[in-house]
Amino acid sequence: MTTVVTSGVFPSTDPAASPISGLGTADVRWGSSGSQSGYQFRGSAADVELDGTEFVIGTFVHRNLPTSVSPSQFDVRLTIDVLFEDGSSTDLTFSFHHFETPNSTGSSPVDDDLVDLETFVHPQPVTIGGKQYRAVLSGFKQGGQIVRQFRSPEGGVNFAEVVCMFTAEEPDVIISDLRYLGTGPGQSDEYVEIFNQGGAPQDLTGWVVESKPTGRDFPFPPGTVIQPGQRYRIYTNEAHPEFGGFSFGSSQQVWRDTGGIARLVAADGHVPDQYPYLDRGFNTTGTP
């Protein structure tokens, strides 16, 4: 574990946005005077595990007022200075893609501006205590969920925590979440979430998610790759492209409400991770 203190500035946009002010500071603005939108980064202090555990590296603020900027879509670069408890420091640079949507209807979510993390930027090397790690910016945290896209309603100041992790250089795929209580007769919105908390991509060809004791499984399609910091969700009977678009395609629930086990099985048969919940399924005939 190490303790870090962070701060950040926005050095540039690509392509150059106009009109714009505040480049090189933690508070960048664009648009006409008196009605400017923009980003602010607020650093933080955190105790950080060096095993892929996510932590809040700072707070992202979007001041979203009706304005116009050219072009309407551009990348905003953020440089985060990370100061470690031993006095050493490193700079991490990431990009956010901004879409200044037309302010035409006066309603949400139609007029919400959209902020996306640059698509799975290559993890950046960082040295901590003489050892090499990878820094991965894994998403925005809002309402307990970590997402790659931040939706910012018009006419307000909107916040999201920026989540990062320091991790080893190899892939490390785990089961990070399981929603076993769905809605409706078939509970189609249940899902199991797979997360790569490592610093390298993992080919999931031949990997399977198993549901015990219902006996249902989901084999990943050949050629499926999960990037560092990426999350895939396998829904019971829905498809969500933002999480890979995967589904068991089952008209009946996959995860028993009273308990069971989710297992992630690699192509060679070993089990990198499993996720028992409630009674683990032991109150039924047979083993889970």
Going from N- to C-terminal start, the domains of the chain cover 2-167, 173-278
Given this model, what pLDDT does residue 283 score?
55
pLDDT at 115 over 70: yes
What mean pLDDT is predicted for residues 172-192? 95
Computed over every residue of the chain, the mean pLDDT equals 90
pLDDT band at 101 (very low <50, low <70, confident <90, very high): confident
Given this model, what pLDDT does residue 122 score?
63
pLDDT band at 180 (very low <50, low <70, confident <90, very high): very high
pLDDT band at 149 (very low <50, low <70, confident <90, very high): confident
Contacts of 135 (CB under 8 A, 6+ apart): 82, 90, 92, 123, 124, 125, 126, 164, 165, 166
Cβ pair 164, 54 in contact under 8 A:
yes
pLDDT at 105 over 70: no
Contacts of 282 (CB under 8 A, 6+ apart): 259, 288
Angstrom distance (rounded) from CA 272 to CA 262: 11
Tell me which range, 103-112, 146-155, 190-199, is most confidently predicted by mean pLDDT: 190-199
Contacts of 187 (CB under 8 A, 6+ apart): 181, 236, 253, 254, 255
Give percent above pLDDT 70 in the chain: 92
DSSP annotation of 33 reads T
φ, ψ for residue 241, nearest 5 deg: -55, -30
pLDDT at 286 over 80: no
Q: What's the helix, strand, coil split of the chain in %, to 5?
A: 0, 55, 45
Give percent above pLDDT 90 in the chain: 67
pLDDT band at 288 (very low <50, low <70, confident <90, very high): very low
Angstrom distance (rounded) from CA 192 to CA 182: 12
Tell me which range, 50-54, 60-64, 107-111, 261-265, is most confidently predicted by mean pLDDT: 261-265
Give the CATH H-level superfamily of domain 173-278.
Answer: Lamin Tail domain (2.60.40.1260)
3-state SS, residue 280: coil
Closest CA to 232 of 148, 164, 163: 148
pLDDT at 20 over 70: yes
Contacts of 211 (CB under 8 A, 6+ apart): 192, 217, 254, 255, 260, 261, 262
- Pick 46 or 108 by higher pLDDT: 46
